[in-house]
Amino acid sequence: MSFVEYGDTIKDGDTAIVFLGHESMFPVKVQHGTVTQTKYGVIRHSTDLIGKKYGSKVTCSKGGWVFILHPTPELWTMNLPHRTQILYSTDISIITMMLELKPGSIVCESGTGSGSLSHALIRTVAPTGHLYTVEFHQQRAEKAREEFREHGVEHLVTVTNQDVCKNGFGVSDIADAVFLDIPSPWEAIGHAKSALKAEGGRICSFSPCIEQVQRTCLAMEEYGFTEINTLEILLRVYNVRTISLQIPDLGKAAEDNSSTGFDSSNPSNQGSPCANLQQGTVQFKSGVPLREMVGHTGYLTFATKS
Amino acid sequence: AMEDGLGPGARICEGDCAVLKRDDVFKAVPVLRRRKIIFEKQWFYLDNAIGHIYGTMFEVTSGGNLQPKQDVEETTTDTKEAGTDNRNIVDDGKSQKLTHDDIKALKDKGIKGQEIVQQLIENSTTFRDKTEFAQDKYIKKKKKKYEAVITIVKPSTRILSTMYYAREPGKINHSKTLNRDDNYTPEAWKGGKCGVILCTQMCCLLAEKHTGSYGSIIQMYPGGGPVRAATSCFGFPKLFFNNALMEEESNGLTDEKQTSLQETEEESTTEAAMEINQTEEQETMDINAEDVEFKENKEKANKENVQEKQRKQWERRKKLIETAALLREKNADGLIVASKFHPTPLLLSLLEFVAPSRPFVVYCQYKEVNQVCYFSCYSLRLFCCLTYYLGFFKPLLECYTKLRERGGVINLKLSETWLRNYQVLPDRSHPKLTMSGGGGYLLSGITVVLDKGKSDSSNLEALKMEEPSCKRCRVQDLHC
């Protein structure tokens, strides 16, 4: 297993995702002789996990079962231990696209935080690219290094423990892209510029507040960045539900029944709603938005050094 | 992956595929000498651009020549004087002293756009009374019109997806969401195994970018051949296409596809032969259309081409066989479906080729169509209309249900992304007026080992496991 390459079977030392159902899951470090408790009972690593195929159903001691999944940056994002606020996959997806990342890209990032974005960046630039990530909090930097080692991606990433606003990224004229998620990104724009290759590259800054964005945009302009563009991406998730609506009895049912042949004449009959006029209800499938959705994570400001 | 030359700092070469950019409008063009290009109501030749670095800004001069724009920024056109509000500004339609004819005359004289803008400002009686912000806005608007600056940029997924969505959304099934939602991009297909993909050109392009040249992509395609216009815009090195194995699909019907696969492998079939003939005809027609001058040489050229074509056909067959073998391993690292066909049968069939614990994603422009409220009538007829429209087109909802019935998938998610652009200027920051709507929907999930034999009971369990208990539904009841 590695976060950048699929393996078929679960091995000792792997990080696997235990899927309990309906968005309920957690990561587990696979180790001979270890047991993991779940609400469905115990999982014994030596017998239940090691040697099994990823994606298998594993029966726990109480007879309930779980699925064991291969780790991916997306699953890790949903399950990682939070040391800071993290970026989620929707923002990450647009960051990787707008930064034009691909295998072989060199990326600078700060701060490392909980490593949610780092894992996605590493996967995108693997196997020939590299991530230089800067974290000023010593313990967080140390923890990130440890995780990268456990996840088999340490050769693709360098973690530096310093203040990016004062000391920069520790590299210059090397990066194809820079990503900033720090409280005062405008103080790091100069360092970002010198980290980027002389021939140019892309930059992105993530900030929750519009005042931060304004200062960042001004700094970007000052340092000669072009194509400055601020955007926000929102994810809307739908529950697929069967809805049942009652038909009002207006006393005209009998005479209008003749015109209700829509169900059989409907060419896309499959999955079409069914009206049960006798019972007085209509059933149909609908995508219902969740009652609450994430309204704001942060503004993403992109620009080009050319 | 550095050899692909897609990075910044590269120079514009003859034969490249480049993207023209003016403000937010993009157009992909081949870089050829003495080829007239029409872009945003202007015509010009790219000859002068050759040799310049990508990202260079050009101005169109007389005779359609491109001239690199001097970086000297305008001397802040004396906008010192400004009003505080618009209480005394009256729209009498006479504030501009220059007439249409005057402006046309200026243009015909070949006067630079910058000077025309300056003249417009000087001849505007209200300009000095406008607020500083309004002056700024006025200048920006005029500049946009008269100072056309064209930037030539290297194609990238970012640029091409924006371009396709704005220019020809129909060709990519309006798949803005998919282009944005890299959640399930095939980045991890790099391990050497392959991913299966049935999609528009745009998302094939995405997949190729993300795998680099390190994995394989099996592109399924309906009809005679894959459409790869967008891919050619990207200017991938040849290496990519060696890895991007092609697979054929007959009209999107997967059953047929599987038979045709087998037949291709085992014996020469009429179907395969017919398809080859078609390709031949097409190629001949292309030749006809392309060069009228070479009409006389056509027959001769055709004869010479026959051998070449036979070689190509043979190579293609070989590839098909290789691909069939690769598919048969049923060990793909992921699946992307984004086509004009109904997604349900495609997904149900293609998922078979994917290994367990791998992501898949289906894109569709529609979740459902439910413009119910336009109908206002009082009887039962209302409900006929209502139910008819609700059920009219909802491929992903159906896909979701069918996948649940099939089993072998978890973490199903139906989603959509919204994108909001912002204007960020000192004291004038706000969301931009328009926001992209209608970017389509995604159905994504993860494959797991499919319990064979007792699939029925396990499906029920899967249902119990995933659907929130209060809203659990009886799937069987829905098909009437």
Q: Which of A104, A268, A271 sits opposite B401 (nearest CB)?
A: A271
Name A159's bridge partners.
Answer: A133
B55 touching chain A per CB within 8 A: yes
Tell me: the pLDDT tens digits for A157-180? 999 999 999 999 999 999 999 999
Chain A residues with CB under 8 Å of B423 CB are 230
- Please check whether residue A76 is in contact with residue A29, taking contact to mean a CB–CB distance below 8 angstroms: no
In B227-361, which ranges are continuous DSSP H helix?
A: 229-234, 238-243, 254-266, 270-290, 298-328, 343-350
pLDDT at site B4: 41
Q: Which of B380, B414, B441 sits opposite A256 (nearest CB)?
A: B380
| CA B472 – CA B469 distance, rounded (Å) | 5
Model-level pTM? 0.76
Query: Exposure pattern of B128-141 as b/e (b: 16+ CB <10 Å)?
Result: ebbeeebbeebbee
> If pLDDT is split at 50, 70 and 90, which confidence band does B296 have?
low
- Please check whether residue B185 is in contact with residue B207, taking contact to mean a CB–CB distance below 8 angstroms: yes
| CA A256 – CA A248 distance, rounded (Å) | 13
Structure tokens at B443: 């159905």
Residue A193: is its pLDDT beyond 70? yes
- Please check whether residue B68 is in contact with residue B56, taking contact to mean a CB–CB distance below 8 angstroms: yes
Could you tell me the sign of the dihedral formed by the alpha carbons of A48, B353, A237, B406, in that order?
A: negative
Three-class DSSP category at B181: coil
Directed axis angle between helix B270-290 and helix B298-328, to 10°? 140
| CA A85 – CA A203 distance, rounded (Å) | 21
- Please check whether residue B258 is in contact with residue B372, taking contact to mean a CB–CB distance below 8 angstroms: no
- Please check whether residue A144 is in contact with residue A122, taking contact to mean a CB–CB distance below 8 angstroms: no
> If pLDDT is split at 50, 70 and 90, which confidence band does A252 have?
low
| CA B380 – CA B140 distance, rounded (Å) | 57
Identity of the highest mean pLDDT range in A296-300, B329-333, B463-467: A296-300
| CA B114 – CA B149 distance, rounded (Å) | 11
3-class SS letters over B336-379:
EEECCCCHHHHHHHHHHHECCCCEEEEEECCCCCCCHHHCCCCC
Three-class DSSP category at B177: helix
- Please check whether residue B405 is in contact with residue B369, taking contact to mean a CB–CB distance below 8 angstroms: no
For range A243-248, the mean pLDDT:
85
Tell me: the pLDDT tens digits for B213-260? 666 677 666 655 555 555 555 544 443 343 333 333 333 333 323 323
Chain A residues with CB under 8 Å of B355 CB are 6, 8, 55
Tell me which of A168-182, A240-254, B183-197, B318-332 is least confident. Answer: B183-197
Chain A residues with CB under 8 Å of B336 CB are none
pLDDT at site A42: 92
Tell me: the pLDDT tens digits for A18-70? 999 877 999 999 999 999 999 999 999 999 999 999 999 999 888 888 999 99
| CA B146 – CA B114 distance, rounded (Å) | 7
Three-class DSSP category at B464: helix
A258 touching chain B per CB within 8 A: no
Structure tokens at A32: 């001979």
Contact A284 B398 (CB under 8 A): no
Chain A residues with CB under 8 Å of B187 CB are 123-124, 126
| CA B360 – CA B353 distance, rounded (Å) | 11
Backbone phi and psi for residue B46, each to the nearest 5 degrees, phi listed first: -90, -5
Three-class DSSP category at B29: strand
Tell me: the pLDDT tens digits for A106-165? 999 999 999 999 999 998 888 889 999 999 999 999 999 999 999 999 999 999 999 999
- Please check whether residue A93 is in contact with residue B180, taking contact to mean a CB–CB distance below 8 angstroms: yes
Burial label for A39, CB within 10 Å (0-12, 13-18, 19+), is exposed
B residues 437-456 lying closer than 8 A (beta carbon) to A: 441, 446-449, 451
- Please check whether residue A175 is in contact with residue A198, taking contact to mean a CB–CB distance below 8 angstroms: no
Q: Find, in chain A, the residue whose alpha carbon is nearest to that of B468.
A: A22
Burial label for B117, CB within 10 Å (0-12, 13-18, 19+), is buried
pLDDT at site B366: 72
CA dihedral B34, B38, B40, B43 (to 10 degrees): 50
Contact B1 A301 (CB under 8 A): no
Burial label for A104, CB within 10 Å (0-12, 13-18, 19+), is buried
Tell me: the pLDDT tens digits for B83-137? 888 887 888 888 888 888 888 888 777 777 788 888 888 888 888 888 888 888 8
> If pLDDT is split at 50, 70 and 90, which confidence band does B352 have?
confident
Name B249's bridge partners.
Answer: B222
Tell me which of A54-68, B138-152, B398-412 is least confident. Answer: B138-152
Burial label for B208, CB within 10 Å (0-12, 13-18, 19+), is buried
Three-class DSSP category at B437: coil
Contact A237 B388 (CB under 8 A): no
| CA A34 – CA B41 distance, rounded (Å) | 70
| CA A233 – CA B292 distance, rounded (Å) | 51
| CA B139 – CA B121 distance, rounded (Å) | 8
Q: Name the average pLDDT for chain A.
A: 88
User: By percentage, how much of chain A surpasses pLDDT 70?
Assistant: 91
Whose structure tokens read 């408790």?
Answer: A37
In A69-207, which ranges are continuous DSSP H helix?
A: 73-79, 89-98, 116-125, 138-150, 164-167, 189-195
Binding residues of A for S-adenosyl-L-methionine: 114-117, 135, 163, 181
B residues 267-296 lying closer than 8 A (beta carbon) to A: none
CA atoms within 13 A on the CB side of B158: 21
Name which of B68, B70, B146, B61 is nearest B110 in CA terms. Answer: B61
Q: Which domains does chain A have, with CATH numbers?
A: 9-71 (3.10.330.20), 75-234+295-305 (3.40.50.150)
Identity of the highest mean pLDDT range in A183-197, A288-302, B248-262: A183-197
